Amino acid sequence: MDLSQKLQEIFESQKDVIKKVASLISESVEELKERALKEKKSLEEVIEEVLQSVVQKSKKEGTMGMPLLGDKFPSIEVQTTHGPMKLPEDLKGKWTVLFSHPADFTPVCTTEFVSFQKHKSEFDAINTQLIGLSIDQVFSHIKWIEWIKEKLDVEIEFPIIAATDTLAMEIGMVHPNKGTNTVRAVFIIDPEGTVRTILYYPQEIGRNIPEIIRAVKALQKSDAEGVATPANWPENELIGDKVIVPPATDCETAAKRPKEYTCYDWWFCYKEA
């Protein structure tokens, strides 16, 4: 069995990956040196190529867990409280907040769903759709949202995916050390189906919904104006609601920056949003 096959097995197991990979590379260093010499490359380049090859193969075949930032959201067909959906095809044209919860009929999850619904008009205003998910049957989802309507007088208007164990594992929403239920995951997906933000919360901590809204707005601002947003934007302690201009990458531009923008230094300039 060659190095690529051995690495493939490690990634598929997803247990102590870093430790096992480091050990395997150490054991295979002579093989890697020989390949580097043959291909006239550095040892580091060869190791990087092998790792990237295995990672891409694993992701393509769906054997590697969660999608990463910049990845297209995996193509999946799901059953929801609003009927069947095909992701990410059905998401195109809008921003999406896909969030998982550990289980229906649990107190923290109930408070989160009420809060998501209470803020739904704010998500609508920024062209963002909400989709919930847990490893519960759709019948359970329906009964739970009926309970929320009856007992709390809140009507849940967004769809909830009835996920299987396999689906939740494939998109990284099950963390074995935190039990068999889905953790509180949040994927912010752009209108082209690309994953732009990933957040994870443990079962014992409810999410802050305004922060998720802030993150979507910040991504939209960054995309529209080619800028970055500071900490706590739009209420940053240094520059308020202004946005950060990308640092200069050459001497000429660096010299011009203080004349064009307000700057602490040429590498830290900002402007009105």
- The residues annotated as belonging to the active site are 109
- Rg of the Cα atoms in the chain: 23
* Contact call for residues 78 and 87 (beta carbons, < 8 A): yes
Distance between CA atoms of 150 and 67, rounded to whole angstroms? 37
- Across the beta sheet with 268-271, the strand order is 243-245, 268-271, 262-265
Distance between CA atoms of 47 and 53, rounded to whole angstroms? 10
DSSP helix/strand/coil, 27: helix
Backbone φ/ψ region at 172: left (φ over 0), alpha (ψ -120 to 50), beta: left
Distance between CA atoms of 266 and 271, rounded to whole angstroms? 13
Name the residue among 203, 211, 210 with its Cα closest to residue 107: 203
